[in-house]
Structure 1
Amino acid sequence: MSAEGRSRLVWADLPDGVAHLVQEQLGSEVVASVSHDGGYSPGLASTLVTGSGERVFVKAVGESMNTFAVELYRREAAVAPLLDERVPAPAFRWSAEESIGGDDWVALAFDAADGPGPGDPWTADGIAAAVDLADRIGDLDAPAGLPAFADEQFRHWHEVAADPELSAGIAALDPWAGEQVDRLVGLADGWADAVAGTALVHGDLRADNMVTLAGTAAAVDWPSAVSGAPWVDLVCLLPSMVLEGAGEAEELLAMSRHAAAADAEAVNVVLAAIAGYFLHSSLQPPPPGIPHVRRFQRDQGLVCTRWLGNRLDGTRTLEP
């Protein structure tokens, strides 16, 4: 993915108090760092090398940078200890939170990955690895303590239907979606039944949330982890993969053991719900520090509506 418009904090620019907090937790001075500039947070995301030669991945963000990112990090600090060694993810090490200079900071540390994951650019092997990762996550039972995906509310199409300005904005982005709002409301309202299940769901799987561990793809950034249907991660991943040139959505869907067996209507429900989330979000003001996220949400939403329209009516191209 292009890093255009992205601004991520690097180790050298970390406030002294935060750097001290991290080094105190590491038990050693940081002598080198490599920033990982992808993703959708303005905070630190770096592999740090300590004086003893240990490599540790550390992420940190302050409330003054983005309050939502702080809440995500707090949520991940609660979720990460629930994920055992079966989960394809770097092992969690520690979390720390402290008010520094009147600013609340949250930091988390994990085992460092061996390298980037698939998707930059997508190749046949990388596509297979990403689909396999989604399936391997779906093979696992969600640990106790995670919320149910079915309990989340996806009422974005209701908000569009009730707001003429939002309706006009959606219609300007995609005339088909603008004409189908009532139909999309009805589909998205089936969310709870469509995604119900006991499997582990990452909840935000994308190329920038994948790394390589011991020669295979693994997932990072788990604050959105929930329980649900085992195919949901793959369906939610595909819009970004299509944008990034991985191929046609239906062909990618058929590669997944779980998604290929999913009920077709349930897949349509999920596409309708996440299309509403993406397009509705894209029309909101940009969040602090990550202005590029709105365009990415818009483009994913358009992939969703075009894919869904093709599934429902068989008349739409899947090109954004």
Structure 2
Amino acid sequence: MTSPTPARTRLAWAQLPAHVQQAVVEQVGAEVVEATSHEGGYSPGMAATLRTAAGERVFVKAVSSGFHERSAELYRDEARVNGLLPDGVPAPRMRWVVDDGEWVAMGFDAADSSLEVPWRPDDLAAALELFTAMAAVPAPAGLGSAADFFGGMPSWADAAREGADLGSWDPWVAEHLDLLVELSIDWAQASVGDRLGHCDARADNMVRLGDRVLLTDWPYAAAAAPWVDLLCFLPSAELEGAGRAAEIWASHPLGRAADQARATALLAGITGFFVHGSVQPPPPGIPHLRAYQRAQGEVALAWLRQRLADGLAGPV
């Protein structure tokens, strides 16, 4: 199974206003002669690798508040977080930021390639090693807590309070909604830790640079438990052909070392986020998001039910 194909096109380099293009040219130091757009992901902002007349390659993201306000907010958050990341973090180096109050653009070292799905064994192995490396990095000062990040996301309690229409889901969901609410009461708190967490790791947020897989798109980074990124990654990974989430979790050192009750609570909350999101209207500019949340939710729900059947739940 692969994830839903994006049903929109990002902003292109040629669509940027002349003053924004000129600001980028001043940063890269030469005229842009080629722009290769990267259409994956879940933001409508420009994401392109630019080649200059000097032969240099740089990856640039750009968006305006007027075009997509939420993306502009995230780009600014991403720029702030990238300024906090310590040396050696598996992320492309941010070179510069341009922000005129309306348009925000960032330049990064260009990757060699995006990751392809279905997952290839060598890419998956490198991604799983990446999570091990991340777990060794203390969260830098200035980052918030993963509990605050996840605590701001809707989940099962919101679905129950709003009377969300869950009729398109397996009847088990509606029949066990009270249990799901109870399981996820403290789901955000389950993520608490002192390691650097990306909190949005998926194939479309990873690239290849040399023999390394790197994480891109860091606006949600936070201090987290060392296993949080691995757990959050696995529903999308299974969806995109990596193998069963439960089996990868059980075989990975971070999964084996995790507090399993806390992991189940976080998985329950994330599953509720996907289910709740799947029945909402599509957000402006990202019409394919709900289908992707639905697909991830189905994987996460199956994994959660398996963990419950195996007795891997309890108070956080």
Query: What's the TM-score once normalised by structure 2's chain length?
Result: 0.92
What's the counterpart of residue 197 of structure 1? 193
Q: Give the RMSD, CA atoms, in angstroms.
A: 1.7
Deviation at 1:192, TM superposition (A): 4.1
More divergent stretch after superposition (4-13 vs 64-73)? 4-13
Q: Deviations over 1:76-123 (max 9, x none)?
A: 011011112210011111111125xxxx21111111112223x42212
Q: Deviations over 1:30-67 (max 9, x none)?
A: 11111111111111101111122111110001223221
Which of 236, 239, 246 is the aligned partner of 1:240?
A: 236
1:30-69 superposed matches below 5 A: 30-69=32-71
Q: Deviations over 1:170-212 (max 9, x none)?
A: 2422322222221111211222442111001001000001111
What's the counterpart of residue 9 of structure 1? 11
Report the residue type matching 1:69 in the other structure.
Answer: S
What's the counterpart of residue 94 of structure 1? 96
Supply the distance in 2 between the matched residues of 1:19 and 1:189 (Cα, whole angstroms).
47
Q: Secondary structure at the match of 1:21?
A: helix
Deviation at 1:134, TM superposition (A): 1.7
1:146-161 superposed matches below 5 A: 146-152=143-149, 153=151, 154-161=153-160
Q: Deviations over 1:142-186 (max 9, x none)?
A: 11100011223145211211122x0xx224223222222211112
Report the residue type matching 2:60 in the other structure.
Answer: V
Q: Deviations over 1:118-146 (max 9, x none)?
A: x4221222221121112211221111100
Supply the distance in 2 between the matched residues of 1:244 and 1:254 (Cα, whole angstroms).
19
Which of 277, 283, 293 is the aligned partner of 1:281?
A: 277
Supply the distance in 1 between the matched residues of 2:296 and 2:118 (Cα, whole angstroms).
18
Q: Does 1:297 align with 2:299?
A: no
* Percent of paired sites with the same residue: 48
Supply the distance in 2 between the matched residues of 1:33 and 1:311 (Cα, whole angstroms).
46
What's the counterpart of residue 126 of structure 2? 129
Q: Secondary structure at the match of 1:109?
A: strand
Supply the distance in 1 between the matched residues of 2:125 and 2:223 (Cα, whole angstroms).
24
Which of 73, 76, 82 is the aligned partner of 2:84?
A: 82
Q: Deviations over 1:211-234 (max 9, x none)?
A: 112211111000010011011101
For structure 1, which runs of at least 5 residues remain unmatched after alignment? 316-320
Query: What's the TM-score once normalised by structure 1's chain length?
Result: 0.91
More divergent stretch after superposition (175-184 vs 142-151)? 175-184
Which of 218, 243, 249 is the aligned partner of 1:253?
A: 249
**Residue 64 and residue 283 in structure 1: after superposition, are their counterparts in 2 closer, same or farther (change >3 A)?**
farther
Runs of 4+ in 1 over 6 A off after TM superposition: none
More divergent stretch after superposition (268-277 vs 184-193)? 184-193
Count of aligned positions: 307
Q: Secondary structure at the match of 1:6?
A: coil
